[in-house]
Copies of this chain bind each other. A is one copy, B any other.
Amino acid sequence: VQDFTSRVQAIRWQNDRLLLLDQRLLPAEERYLELSTAPEVAEAIHNMTVRGAPAIGIAAAYAVVLSAAQHLANGKQGQAALQRDIEVLRASRPTAINLHWALARMLQVLAAGPADLVAALQAEAVRIHREDREANYRMAELGAALLPQDAVVLTHCNTGALATGGYGTALGVIRKAHADKKLKQVYATETRPWLQGARLTAWELEQDRIPVSLLVEGAAASLMQTLKVDWVIVGADRIAANGDVANKIGTYALAVAAKYHGVKVMVVAPSSTFDLQTASAAGIPIEHRAVEEITRIISPAQGYKNVGGWNPVFDVTPAGLIDAIVSERGIVHAPLAGRLAAIAG
C-alpha cells in the first residue's frame, strides 16, 4: 500500500539487538540506543526512551527474545532468569495493558516449547510488531472513513509511528485522512509535562510533511469554542470492558470539553489494548510519576522546598463521553456498553 509508511521507525530489530529511538531526546537529537538485555529494555520503558502503549508491548516482546537468547542455554537457572526478566518487564509501567498482552503471547510460545525456542520467540516478536503495523493501517482506514471532508481534528499526546509498530493509532487515522485529502487542519496539544505533542507528534508529522498546529492544553476548550472542530481523536493505554478508556492525562479534559461543545470523540486502539477482564475504569491502575516533572522549573539545588505536585500520567474517560472506539476488528459506536466483547475476539 502506497501510504502505509512513515519515515519514522522507532523500534528496530537488527543483528539480534533491539534498537530504540531515544524519544527523550527528540526533536533535538535523533539517536538510537542499542539494547541487548531485557532489564535494559524494562528501564527504557520505565524512563520513557520508548513510550506509547503499542510500542511498549512490542519492545517488551523483543526483550523476551533478548532474555531467552541470553539465558536459555543455562538450564534451570536460565529458565528462572528468563522468568525474572519477564516480571521486571511486566512491572516497568502499570497502566498500558498491551505490555501484559505482548508478554502473554510470548509466554504461550515458551509454553509450547518448540525445538528452537529463541527462533520461535523472535518470530513471534516480529509477528507482534508486524501485526501492530497492519492493525494500525486497518484502524486508520476505518477511522478516516468516519471523518467529514475538510475535517478539523484535535489530537493529544503522540499516537503515531513513534508510539506503535510504525504507523499510528489516532495519528494513523490522521495520517490516512491526510493521504486521502480529507483533512483541513490538525491541531495537536503540546501534552505536558513530557511534551509528547510538541516534541514527538510535531516532529513526526514534520518528517512526513503533514502540517500541524500546536496549542497548549489550556487552549483546547477555547479552540472548540471559537473554531469548528469536528473530532477529538486520541489513543488509549487500556480500555475496560464497559468502554471506559485510560489514556494520557488530559484526555478526559478534552472529552469533557468536547461533550460541552458537541465535538465528537474517537478513541483509536488495537484490540491488544482491550482489557475485558477489567469491568470499568475503577479497576485500572493509574501511574503517578515524580512531581519534579512539574515542579523542577530550575536546577534541583535551587529548587522549591515546599511546593508539592499532583502528577498522574493517565486519566480515565468514561465510556459515556466517547462516540466511537476504532480497533482493527471494527468500530464500536456509542453507546459502548456491552458492545466491546463482540469485536475483542
Give A residues with C-beta under 8 Å from B. Answer: 27-28, 156, 187, 189-193, 195, 198-199, 202-203, 205-206, 209, 211-223, 225, 248-253, 256-257, 259-260, 291, 294-295, 297-299, 302, 304-312, 315-316
Tell me whether A294 and B198 are in contact (CB under 8 A).
Answer: yes
Given contacts A190-B294, A195-B297, A295-B198, contact A218 B307 (CB under 8 A): no
User: What are 23 A-to-B residue pairs whose CB atoms are below 8 Å?
Assistant: A27-B297, A28-B299, A187-B310, A192-B216, A209-B306, A213-B310, A214-B295, A214-B310, A215-B310, A215-B311, A216-B217, A216-B250, A216-B294, A217-B250, A218-B249, A218-B250, A218-B315, A219-B250, A225-B316, A256-B256, A256-B257, A256-B260, A257-B257
Query: Which residue on chain B has the smallest CB distance to residue A248?
Result: B218
A88 to B110 CA separation, bound complex (whole angstroms): 74
| Distance of A95 from chain B, by nearest CB (Å) | 13
Knowing that A191-B218, A213-B310, A216-B311 touch, tell me 15 more A-B residue pairs with CB under 8 angstroms. A27-B304, A187-B310, A192-B192, A192-B218, A195-B297, A198-B294, A198-B297, A202-B307, A212-B307, A215-B311, A217-B218, A222-B252, A222-B315, A256-B257, A257-B257
A214 contact from B249, B294, B298, Cβ within 8 A = B294
Tell me whether B308 and A213 are in contact (CB under 8 A).
Answer: yes
Tell me whether A219 and B312 are in contact (CB under 8 A).
Answer: yes
A211 to B312 CA separation, bound complex (whole angstroms): 19
Return chain B residues, CB-CB under 8 Å to A222.
249, 252-253, 312, 315-316
Query: Which residue on chain B has the smallest CB distance to residue A227?
Result: B310
Tell me whether B206 and A304 are in contact (CB under 8 A).
Answer: yes
Return chain B residues, CB-CB under 8 Å to A187.
310
Query: Which residue on chain B has the smallest CB distance to residue A306?
Result: B206
Of all A-B residue pairs in the complex, the 6 with the closest CB atoms, nearest first, are A218-B250, A221-B253, A222-B315, A213-B308, A192-B216, A217-B218
Tell me whether A309 and B213 are in contact (CB under 8 A).
Answer: yes
Tell me whether A206 and B307 are in contact (CB under 8 A).
Answer: yes
Tell me whether A211 and B306 are in contact (CB under 8 A).
Answer: yes
A211 to B304 CA separation, bound complex (whole angstroms): 11
